[in-house]
Structure 1
């Protein structure tokens, strides 16, 4: 894929984005505000997923591994 075709494809994707979101009717300053809010919200979701999802997955795996392994309910049972 050469540079011209790639540039045309990216322009087509941007045009599709404008049509789907309906921001093609906005003024340029309104478009920039909309895009800023949208992309900052997406960045926050991606960052939060990157930071917190692995922690929750690890805790869920530990929780379910304890259930599956059939650990005793109390430590007193191990002492007797």
Structure 2
């Protein structure tokens, strides 16, 4: 792709972002506060997902393996 096309595409994406969030009606200082809050919230969601989802998946696997007759961890550890 040409650099100009990439620049046009990114500016189009930014314009879509402004339209979807209605932040084009905000003043520049309000936009910066809004963008900062939005990025902070997104970062917290990503961090929380990274930390807590593996724990819940492990607990769900242990729960369902117990229901469906899987071996307990101590049995698996002794057999290996």
Whether TM exceeds 0.5 here: the answer is yes
The normalised TM-score by structure 1 is 0.84
The normalised TM-score by structure 2 is 0.84
For the aligned residues, what is the CA RMSD? 1.3
Partner residue of 2:74? none
Q: Larger C-alpha radius of gyration, 1 or 2? A: 1
2-side partners of 1:70 and 1:49: how far apart?
A: 27
1-side partners of 2:27 and 2:41: how far apart?
A: 21
Structure 1 segments (4+ residues) deviating >3 Å = none
2-side partners of 1:55 and 1:6: how far apart?
A: 40
**Number of aligned residue pairs:** 71
2-side partners of 1:46 and 1:54: how far apart?
A: 13
The runs of 5 or more residues in structure 2 that have no matched partner are: 72-80
Report matched runs for 1:1-80 at 5 Å: 1-69=1-69
The runs of 5 or more residues in structure 1 that have no matched partner are: 72-80
Deviations 1:35-58 (A, max 9, x none): 000010000000100111011001
